[in-house]
Amino acid sequence: METVILVSVLSTIGVVAVLLSVAVAFIKLKRKVDVNDLERQIRSIYESIEYERRNVSEELKNVHYRIEHDNNNIHQVIDNVRSNVYGHIDSRVDKLESKIKLITPSEKDK
């Protein structure tokens, strides 16, 4: 009988000790790992990712605008050069044609 009482008292003390050690461990861990701090850090990471995404999106829009603007400018320059070349060729052809017309009647006279 005494043994049963002694075993039950010791097992009760053991259970209380285990529960107490678990409670102490949770209290110490709670101080080290604050859930609110963890949530703040996660929120901060998401906000920084969103901020970077917006910046990248804005930079891509700027790059697209610059490429489009440069493309339009290049097309204008090419059109101007082409017009100048066509004009120059046309004037040279007209000059050549006028010289041919001058030469052709004199040869018929011979």
How far apart, in whole angstroms, are the C-alpha atoms of residue 53 and residue 46?
10
What pLDDT is recorded for position 108? 53
pLDDT band at 109 (very low <50, low <70, confident <90, very high): low
Say which residue, 57 or 2, is predicted with more confidence. 57
Cα angle at 87 between 84 and 91, to 5 degrees? Answer: 140
pLDDT (tens digit per residue) in 26-41: 777 776 666 777 788 9
What pLDDT is recorded for position 55? 93
What pLDDT is recorded for position 33? 65
Using DSSP's 3-state secondary structure scheme, residue 1 falls into coil
What pLDDT is recorded for position 52? 93
pTM of the complete model: 0.46
- Domain positions in the chain are 1-32, 34-109
- Terminal-to-terminal C-alpha distance of the chain: 156
Q: Does 3 score more than 90 pLDDT? A: no
User: Mean pLDDT lowest for which of 47-51, 98-102, 103-107?
Assistant: 103-107
Q: Does 17 score more than 60 pLDDT? A: yes
